[in-house]
Amino acid sequence: MSPTTAKTPDVSRRSERSRQAILRASMELVGEVGYPKLTIEAIAARAGVGKQTIYRWWPSKAAVLLDACTDAATGDGHDSGLPDTGDVEADLKTVLRATADEFSDPAFEAPYRALAVAAAADAELAEQFLVRLREPGLQAYTRRLRAGQEAGQIDPDLDLGLAVEILLGPFQQRWLNRSGPLTHEFADSLVELAMRAFTPRP
Amino acid sequence: MSPTTAKTPDVSRRSERSRQAILRASMELVGEVGYPKLTIEAIAARAGVGKQTIYRWWPSKAAVLLDACTDAATGDGHDSGLPDTGDVEADLKTVLRATADEFSDPAFEAPYRALAVAAAADAELAEQFLVRLREPGLQAYTRRLRAGQEAGQIDPDLDLGLAVEILLGPFQQRWLNRSGPLTHEFADSLVELAMRAFTPRP
């Protein structure tokens, strides 16, 4: 760290507290007013910081929200990968059930939906949304399926990218379209049907 | 028809011309400015009608766009059902390839995306979007899969609702997230992988 960017521990702690307050405020507010009406001014007021503090660290409200959702997603172990108990079907169910619980929680769902909607409308944000929020999860699924291939539970010729799309696409569609409940039963049925396509051919 | 709502043929023709102009204008404009900036005033100006004409027939811009997208989707035979050549896999590929072509056409894609995005953000619009635009297509897929069950090509115990979600969810996810190309190759691969889950178990 160069001398000009070095900070005393007190300043760092204060910065981290402000950063957390800003991210939390952005998550709360986007759930309350929606993405189009979310403003940097309102985030600053809710977080108890000046709006220049926000502009110093983030170029836009999309960037704030992307950090907030990334923190929320990684905070609960998202990026540490899927469990591997040796039973790939059971592990996929465990993770998809947990995801169903997460998306049934308004505190998580509302900001994530706001960001997904904004990303669907904006190609540049879509790219960041994919790289920052979606791909770590997709890669974790891909790794678990690859381990399943090595264990002989998954067809060695399966296109793993397409397999992950078949597993997660129906979930996202139900969620974004509000076309059905995100229950454990749905998670289980989806994994069971997908696994019929994934298992080695006789 | 009551005497007060009866119209001469000339008036009806003029009304239908105005209606078509309004729907076309809404499709063009939403592709140019996006849904949030779409206004009834701009649609009226583009269509060459007074804005009261629009308000007489539609309660909101969402209602105009929903009619426009419904007309566009049914105009090309969407609601007439899927082909049934006797080969369910081939028929699913034919329809999903045609859908891929449709979503690669900006004139269709932009207004449909605008409406999907607006519906994802608004639970009430989501309901209308599902009933008017999505369900006729889902039911057509379900009917084709049921005919496949009767022909012995599809597992008789398959949950057809979930099957349609597995087939169309990955397509919608790629489209909304811009996470991959909507090509004929993708359509074919998706159908082939899904069919592995749909065929009767040995």
Q: Write out pLDDT tens, residues B124-182.
A: 888 988 988 888 889 999 999 999 999 999 999 999 999 999 999 999 999 999 999 99
What are the angstrom distances between the C-alpha of A197 and each of A90, A91, A146, A162, B102?
A: 16, 17, 15, 11, 27
The amino acid at A14: R
**DSSP assignment of A52-115, as one string?**
HHHHHH-SSHHHHHHHHHHHHHHHTTGGG----SS-HHHHHHHHHHHHHHHHT-HHHHHHHHHH
pLDDT at B148: 97
pLDDT-wise least confident of A33-47, A61-75, B16-30: A61-75
Contact A191, A144 (CB under 8 A): no
Contact A109, A118 (CB under 8 A): no
**How much of chain B, in percent, has pLDDT values that exceed 70?**
92
pLDDT-wise least confident of B68-72, B142-146, B155-159, B195-199: B68-72
Q: What is the pLDDT of residues A80-101, one digit of tens each?
A: 689 999 999 999 999 999 999 9
pLDDT at B70: 86
Sign of CA dihedral B44, B46, B49, B50: positive
Quickly count helices (H) and strands (E) in chain B: 10, 0
What are the angstrom distances between the C-alpha of A98 and each of A27, A78, A166, B2, B42?
A: 20, 10, 18, 58, 46
**Environment class of residue B127 by beta-carbon count within 10 Å: exposed (0-12), middle (13-18) or buried (19+)?**
middle
C-alpha span between B189 and B92 (Å, rounded): 11
The amino acid at B189: S
Q: How far is B36 from chain A (nearest CA, A)?
A: 8
Give the residue from A53, A59, A43 showing the smallest Cα distance to A114: A43
Residue of B nearest to A167 (CA): B166
Q: Which residue is associated with the tokens 């298992």?
A: A199
**B46 Cβ under 8 Å from any chain A Cβ:** no
Residue of B nearest to A171 (CA): B169
**B164 token code pair:** 């349609």
C-alpha span between B92 and A26 (Å, rounded): 43
Is a pLDDT exceeding 90 seen at residue A79?
no
C-alpha span between A41 and A160 (Å, rounded): 44
Mutate one of B142, B160, B178, B201 to test the A interface: name it (highest A CB count within 10 A).
B178
Mean pLDDT to the nearest integer, B80-105: 93
Q: What is the pLDDT of residues A112-144, one digit of tens each?
A: 898 898 888 888 888 988 988 888 889 999 999
Is a pLDDT exceeding 80 seen at residue A73?
no
pLDDT bin (cut points 50, 70, 90) of residue A8 is: low
Hey, what domains does chain B have and what are their CATH numbers? 9-61 (1.10.10.60), 68-198 (1.10.357.10)
**B171 Cβ under 8 Å from any chain A Cβ:** yes
Contact B46, B108 (CB under 8 A): no
Sign of CA dihedral A88, A94, A100, A105: negative
> What is the distance, to the nearest Å, from the Cα of residue A119 to the centroid of all Cα atoms in its chain?
13
**Environment class of residue B49 by beta-carbon count within 10 Å: exposed (0-12), middle (13-18) or buried (19+)?**
middle
**How much of chain A, in percent, has pLDDT values that exceed 70?**
92
Average pLDDT, chain A: 89
How far from each other are the two terminal CA atoms of chain A, in whole angstroms?
59
What are the angstrom distances between the C-alpha of A162 and each of B12, B15, B179?
A: 50, 48, 12
pLDDT at B2: 46
DSSP 3-state of B152? coil
What are the angstrom distances between the C-alpha of A179 and each of B35, B119, B123, B169?
A: 22, 11, 11, 11
**A131 Cβ under 8 Å from any chain B Cβ:** no
pLDDT bin (cut points 50, 70, 90) of residue A26 is: very high
Contact A176 B178 (CB under 8 A): no
Contact B149, B158 (CB under 8 A): yes
Mutate one of A139, A165, A171 to test the B interface: name it (highest B CB count within 10 A).
A165
Mutate one of A173, A182, A198 to test the B interface: name it (highest B CB count within 10 A).
A173
pLDDT at B77: 47
**A198 token code pair:** 């994934």
